[in-house]
Amino acid sequence: MSDQATAMEQTSAGTVIVEARGVSRNFPQRQGLFGEKRDVWALRKIDIDIRRGEALGVVGESGCGKSTLGRLLLALDDPTEGTVTFEGQALNEMRGAPLRALRQRMQMIFQDPFGSLDPRRSIGAQIADGLRNHQTVPPAEINAEVARLMDLVGLDPVTATRRPHEFSGGQRQRIAVARALAPRPDFIVADEPVSALDVSIAAQIVNLLADLRDDLNLAMLFISHDLHVVRHLSSRLVVMYLGRIVEEGPTEAIFAAPRHPYTRALLSATPSVRRPAGYRGAILEGELPSPADPPSGCAFRTRCPLAVAACAGAVPELEDIGDKRRVACIRHADMVAP
Partner 1 sequence: MTRAQRSLTLWLAVALILVAFPIAAPILPLQSTVAIDIPGRFDGPSAEHWLGQDELGRDVLSRIIWGARASLIVAFGSAFFAAVIGTILGLVGGYFRGLAEILAVRSTEIIICLPPLLLALLVITILGAGIDTLIMALTILFVPKYTRVVYAATLQTGALDFVTAQESMGTHPMRILARTVLPNIFPPLLVQFSLTVASGILLESGLSFLGLGVVPPAPSWGLMIRAARAALDVQPLLLLWPSLALAGTVLLLNVICDRLQEVITPRTAERGGAAWLRRQLGLTKPEPVADDTPLLAIRDLSVAVSTERGTIGLTDTVGFTLKPGETMALVGESGSGKTLTGLATTGLLPNALKITNGSALFRDCSGTVLDLAKLTEDQFRPLRGNDISMVFQDASASLNPVHRIGDQLAEVIAEHRKLPRAEIDTLVVDLLRRVGIPDPEQRRRAYPFELSGGQRQRAMIAMAIANSPRLLIADEPTTALDPTIQAQILRLLDGLKDENRDMGMIFVTHNLAVVKEIADTVSVMYAGEVVEQGSVAEIFERPRHPYTAALLASVPESESTRLESIPGTVPRAGEMPEGCRFAPRCKHAADICASVDGLQTLADGRRTACIRWETVT
Ligand X SMILES: Nc1ncnc2c1ncn2[C@@H]1O[C@H](COP(=O)(O)OP(=O)(O)O)[C@@H](O)[C@H]1O
Query: Would you call 60 exposed, middle or buried from its count of C-beta atoms within 10 A (0-12, 13-18, 19+)?
Result: buried
The least CB distance from residue 218 to ligand X, in Å, is 21
Q: Residues 312, 297: contact at Cβ < 8 Å?
A: yes
Strand partners, 141: none
Among positions 24, 67, 107, 234, the unique one binding ligand X when judged by CB under 6 A:
67
118 binds partner 1 (CB under 8 A): yes
Q: Which is nearer to ligand X, 27 or 255 (CB)?
A: 27
Considering only residues 21, 49, 63, 255, which one is a binding residue for ligand X as defined by CB under 6 A?
63
Name which of 233 and 327 has its Cβ closer to Mg ion: 233
Residue 331's binding partner out of ligand X, ligand SF4, partner 1, none, with CB under 5 to 8 Å set by partner kind: ligand SF4
> Do residues 265 and 282 lie in contact, with contact meaning Cβ atoms separated by under 8 Å?
yes
Q: Which is nearer to ligand SF4, 29 or 296 (CB)?
A: 296
Cβ pair 85, 91 in contact under 8 A = yes
Amino acid at residue number 244: R
Which one of residues 90, 269, 312, 314 is an interface residue with partner 1 (CB under 8 A)?
A: 269
Nearer to partner 1, 82 or 185 (CB): 185
Give the helix, strand, coil percentages of the chain, each rounded to 5: 35, 20, 40
* Least Å from the CB of residue 316 to ligand SF4: 5
Those residues with Cβ within 8 angstroms of residue 167's Cβ, 6 or more apart along the chain or in another chain: 123, 159, 175
45 binds, among ligand SF4, Mg ion, partner 1, none (CB under 5 to 8 A by kind): none
Neighbours of 280 (CB within 10 A): 6
Show the binding pattern over residues 156-185: x = contacts partner 1 (CB under 8 A), - = does not.
Answer: -------xxxx-xxxx----x--x---x--
Measured distance CA(161)–CA(158) in Å, rounded: 7
Binding residues (CB under 6 A) for ligand X: these are 27, 42, 60, 62-68, 291
Binding residues (CB under 6 A) for ligand SF4: these are 261, 298, 300-301, 304, 306-307, 311, 316, 329-331
